[in-house]
Amino acid sequence: MAAPVSTVGKPSAERLPLNTTSFQKKTRTKLISIPGTRPSVQNGQLLVSTGVTSLDYLLGGGLAVGTVLLVEEDRYDSYSRMILKYFLAEGVVCRHELFVASAQDNPDDILQELPAPILDDVAIHKPVEQPRLSCEPQDSLDAMKIAWRYQNLPKVQSALASSSRFGHYYDVSKTMEPEIRQAAKCHRFYLTEHPTQSPPTHSTMLESYSALLKSLQEVINSEGFDVAAPMSKSRNILRIGLPSLGSALWGDDLSCHDNPRNGHALATFFYGLRAMLRSSLAVAVVTVPSHLIQDRALMGNITRLCDNAIALESFKGSERETNPLYKDYHGLLHVRQVPHLNCLASKLPDHKDLAFKLKRKQFTIERLHLPPDLSETVSRVSRGELAGAAAVASACGSGGSGNKHLDF
Amino acid sequence: MLTELLQGSDAGGFIIIRDSASCSGRHLLKSFINAALNREEDVHVLGFEVSEEELKGSPVQRLHFHNAYSDPLGWTDKPTFTVHQFCMEELARLLKQTSHPKPATLVIDSLSWILRHVSPPAVCATLHQLRKGGAVRAIVALLHGDMHQRGTVGSVCHLASSVITVAPGMKGGDAVAKITKRSKSGKVVQDEDIFTINNDLTVVIQSKHSQVGHKQADPEEQEMDPTAHLTFNLRLSNKEREAKEKLALPFVFSKEKKTALLHSSPGSGRILYEPDANDDYDQEDPDDDLDV
């Protein structure tokens, strides 16, 4: 029995143009449009790129503004430092402001080692080039043999200043040119330049951490990153990079002793940092030498107090370096925590076994899987050696692991 | 790599010799002192664990031994050097006493003694300031790895540019040195040497690689080039290659057709259509006879 229903209207005879869609999302303009950010497709949060596109994908599209990313360092702090440099370089390219605080290296040295961006549309001083139009058919036809129908489409997405691309690629072998770097505003905090005074009251936080928090607060208030500040001028994002927080040079004995005296100083710092960031337009990436911290409960505390947390484990120096399974990669990446911001459940990554590899032009994070065993005589890697991350049951590999090959 | 470290080519380095109860690293430390003296450098030694006579037999002019062996904790009235003097101001004053133009090498024997009595963050801060300040050219320190907690050893070794871990070797007089060197660019190089130390404190490297049985799988030997011995020809001569490129493939359009498709002229063919009554097809009412 047909229910009364309105007739299906005439099919709309709309012809969509080739490149864009006519679909416009109806949004209130409460969302601030800041260069280098985009709203998340999952929950509408404002996202910022970390500089590493595969890490953006893992974190659900990017880092949400107002959150903290904790990176647990690898043994020699090479790859975690690389991630921090990518983060700061992305800030320079997107014209955000930077804040670097360090106890070991001078922040200026860190800023001088940022990798150079690869793209041509990162045009700070050079004018933006228009995409090549198809006015010369003779030349362009020989360009593509198979995909010739796509020849006339523009090659480079014309990126203008207001809507720059989300996520750029960097060349690790070159450092960023000084002109590009100096175009971005950087705030520095070097611990050796701040004389430590003894705290008048007994507080749970060390004076180095309090000094850092105070300095951050000053920068946020004075430069207008506070969300509550009047919206008169254009807004920008503050990117905070804190390398090697919690090491002995900050005066913290968390990484030295098994039972540290002020074990909660770092946790209190993270509590204060996150509270400050929630009410400001800032993102922080913090690296912590967690391989030195023996108290796993404290490390768990610190992980809970940050929003995103990943851990890097490099193969250098461990016995896994010679394992043929890992020969393509530089280390393993563990995702310890993914945030749930303004929602009940978070989107965990599908695959838990991830490995990373630092190539010259890209830092890739891939799913670690057993390669197909094609040769007849190679001995199978026994299960015991794969203890750790790669206990993935691949379809063809684990079926008859104990038996000899059957010939059909 | 041990010989390069002994030659001390890079300035601003912080070398830690990490030993344990099974193998002492003091002989290697003496070799480092010897090598620095041979390079005509000033050497300052903070000796906590052994006395001056035991460390070096006869006094050498450029070697300044600061006696912290007799009274390290300052129990007597006039201590020469105490453990609490291990801070930046005192050390800078100590190092300025010699009027040598080149910055000196500081040797600490041993860092473990200091770590027992001064908190590790303070020790790390002092070492960091020493490196950055430029008062010393290089620092060589002996650390007993089994005397401290893992976090302490890890934190101090994290500051070092090179860590040499000595372990007993297979034969009697040998020792194995595992070296980890971190360069300024973040690159980490690891090496393993078997060495012995002669009576005149020169280091002799026995062999480069360790002989512990890692099964070296050689996949290259088993793989042969499959195109090596074939009865048919897989390569193309030049003429054949040209002919191959000239061949017109079935679904590849000619040039004229491609340009025609790419630049379709505006008036080439348009379909004008006005929808009529038959197009108004309602799925739920195909005969169009419901009276709604």
Q: How confident is the model at residue B19 (pLDDT cuts 50, 70, 90)?
A: very high
Q: What is the pLDDT of residue A305?
A: 93
Least Cα distance to A217 among A204, A226, A205, A207 occurs for: A226
Question: DSSP assignment of A238-298, as one string?
Answer: EEEEETTTTSGGGT--TTT-SS-TTTTHHHHHHHHHHHHHHTBTEEEEEEE-TTT---HHH
Q: What is the pLDDT of residue A277?
A: 94
B107-135: per-residue pLDDT in tens? 998 899 999 999 899 999 999 988 888 78
**C-beta neighbour count of A319 within 10 angstroms:** 9
Provide long-range contacts, Cβ within 8 A and 24+ apart, for B170-176: B170/B211, B174/B206, B175/B23, B175/B28, B176/B210
Task: Find which of A256-260, A306-310, B63-67, B227-231 is predicted with most confidence, using mean pLDDT.
Answer: A306-310
Residues near B216 by Cβ (< 8 Å), separated by ≥ 6? none
What are the chain A neighbours of B285 within 8 Å (beta carbons)?
A: 2, 7
End-to-end CA distance of chain B: 94
Q: To the nearest 10°, the Cα dihedral for A99, A243, B87, A210? A: 50
The chain B residue lying nearest A7, using CA atoms, is: B282
Residues 112-131 of B with CB under 8 A from A: 119-121, 124-125, 128-129
Taking the model in full, what pTM does it have? 0.73
Q: What is the pLDDT of residue A23?
A: 67
Using a CB–CB cut-off of 8 Å, the residues of A that contact B are 2-5, 7-8, 10, 76-78, 81-82, 104, 134, 137, 141, 145, 148-149, 151-152, 192, 247-253, 255-258, 289, 291-294, 316-317, 322, 324, 377-378
Q: What is the pLDDT of residue B209?
A: 54
Q: Is A395 exposed, middle or buried (0-12, 13-18, 19+ CB in 10 A)?
A: exposed
Q: What is the pLDDT of residue A22?
A: 67
| Block residue for tokens 């050893």 | B153
Question: What mean pLDDT is predicted for residues A347-375?
Answer: 81
Question: What percent of chain B clears pLDDT 70, i.e. is strictly above it?
Answer: 90
Residues 233-292 of B with CB under 8 A from A: 252, 255, 258-259, 261-263, 275, 279-280, 282-285, 290, 292
Q: What is the pLDDT of residue A147?
A: 76
Pick the residue with more confidence: A34 or A49?
Answer: A49
Eight-state DSSP code of residue A24: -
The chain A residue lying nearest B277, using CA atoms, is: A10
Question: DSSP assignment of A89-134, as one string?
Answer: HHHHHTT-EEEEEESSS-HHHHHHTPEEE--S---SSSPPPPPPPT
Indicate whether B37 pLDDT > 80.
Answer: yes
Contact A120, A156 (CB under 8 A): yes
| Closest Cβ–Cβ partner in A4, A145, A324 for B292 | A4
Least Cα distance to A280 among A216, A185, A199 occurs for: A216
Q: What is the pLDDT of residue B152?
A: 92
Q: What is the pLDDT of residue A161?
A: 34
Q: What is the pLDDT of residue A57?
A: 86
Contact A37, A46 (CB under 8 A): yes
A260-313: per-residue pLDDT in tens? 888 889 999 999 999 999 999 999 999 999 999 988 999 999 999 999 999 999
Q: Do B151 and A256 touch (CB under 8 A)?
A: yes
Q: What is the pLDDT of residue B8?
A: 75
The region of weakest confidence among A90-104, B6-20, B68-82, B257-271 is: B257-271
Q: What is the pLDDT of residue B214?
A: 38
Contact B168, B175 (CB under 8 A): yes
| Closest Cβ–Cβ partner in A2, A10, A293 for B285 | A2
Question: What mean pLDDT is predicted for residues A48-66?
Answer: 89
Question: What mean pLDDT is predicted for residues B222-228?
Answer: 70
Indicate whether B263 pLDDT > 60.
Answer: yes
Question: DSSP assignment of B72-99, as one string?
Answer: TT--SSS-SS-GGG-SHHHHHHHHHTS-
Question: What mean pLDDT is predicted for residues A71-78?
Answer: 91
Q: How confident is the model at residue A143 (pLDDT cuts 50, 70, 90)?
A: low
What are the chain B neighbours of A294 within 8 Å (beta carbons)?
A: 149-151
Q: What is the pLDDT of residue A72?
A: 95
**Superfamily holding B2-208:** P-loop containing nucleotide triphosphate hydrolases (3.40.50.300)
Q: Is A152 exposed, middle or buried (0-12, 13-18, 19+ CB in 10 A)?
A: middle
What are the chain A neighbours of B261 within 8 Å (beta carbons)?
A: 149
Task: Find which of A121-130, B146-155, B213-222 is predicted with most confidence, using mean pLDDT.
Answer: B146-155
Q: What are phi and psi of A46, to 5 degrees?
A: -80, 125
Q: Do A148 and B262 touch (CB under 8 A)?
A: yes
Indicate whether B160 pLDDT > 80.
Answer: yes
Indicate whether A9 pLDDT > 50.
Answer: no
Q: How confident is the model at residue A6 (pLDDT cuts 50, 70, 90)?
A: very low
Q: What CA–CA distances, in Å, run from A301 to A6, A295, A357, A363, B93?
A: 59, 10, 29, 29, 43
Q: Take residue A286 and report the two structure tokens written for it.
A: 């913090």
Q: Do A137 and B262 touch (CB under 8 A)?
A: yes
Q: What is the pLDDT of residue B215?
A: 37
Q: Take residue A322 and report the two structure tokens written for it.
A: 């010679």
Top residue of A206, A256, A319, A377 to mutate, by most chain B CBs within 10 Å, is A256
Q: Do B125 and A251 touch (CB under 8 A)?
A: yes
Indicate whether A388 pLDDT > 90.
Answer: no
The domain segmentation of chain B, as residue ranges, is 2-208
Residue B158 contacts A where some CB pair is shorter than 8 Å: yes
Q: What is the pLDDT of residue A376?
A: 59
Eight-state DSSP code of residue A235: P
CA dist., res. A127 & res. B200, Å (int): 68
Question: What percent of chain B clears pLDDT 90, i.e. is strictly above it?
Answer: 17
Q: What is the pLDDT of residue A14?
A: 41
What are the chain B neighbours of A317 within 8 Å (beta carbons)?
A: 180, 188, 190
Question: DSSP assignment of A350-400, as one string?
Answer: S-S-EEEEE-SS-EEEEE--PPP---SSSPPPPGGGG-SS-----TTTSTT
Residue B21 contacts A where some CB pair is shorter than 8 Å: no
CA B51 to chain A, closest CA, distance in angstroms equals: 29
Residue B209 contacts A where some CB pair is shorter than 8 Å: no
The chain B residue lying nearest A148, using CA atoms, is: B258
B135-157: per-residue pLDDT in tens? 888 899 999 999 999 889 999 99
Question: What mean pLDDT is predicted for residues B75-87?
Answer: 84
Q: How confident is the model at residue A318 (pLDDT cuts 50, 70, 90)?
A: confident
Sheet holding B104-109, edge to edge: B63-67, B43-47, B104-109, B136-144, B13-19, B162-168, B175-182, B188-197, B203-207
| Block residue for tokens 């002994």 | B6
Indicate whether A382 pLDDT > 50.
Answer: no
CA dist., res. A114 & res. A96, Å (int): 15
What are the chain A neighbours of B280 within 8 Å (beta carbons)?
A: 7, 10
Task: Find which of A54-58, A258-262, B203-207 is predicted with most confidence, using mean pLDDT.
Answer: A54-58
| Closest Cβ–Cβ partner in B155, B219, B280 for A247 | B155
**C-beta neighbour count of A150 within 10 angstroms:** 10
Question: What mean pLDDT is predicted for residues B202-229?
Answer: 60
What are the chain A neighbours of B158 within 8 Å (beta carbons)?
A: 77, 247-248, 289, 292
Q: What is the pLDDT of residue B99?
A: 62
What are the chain A neighbours of B149 within 8 Å (beta carbons)?
A: 256-258, 294
The pLDDT mean for chain A works out to 76
Q: Do B158 and A324 touch (CB under 8 A)?
A: no
What are the chain A neighbours of B151 within 8 Å (beta carbons)?
A: 255-258, 292-294
Residues near B158 by Cβ (< 8 Å), separated by ≥ 6? A77, A247, A248, A289, A292
Q: Do B180 and A82 touch (CB under 8 A)?
A: no
Q: Do B151 and A151 touch (CB under 8 A)?
A: no
Q: Do A76 and B188 touch (CB under 8 A)?
A: yes
Identify residue A142 by its one-letter amino acid code: D
Q: Do A248 and B188 touch (CB under 8 A)?
A: no
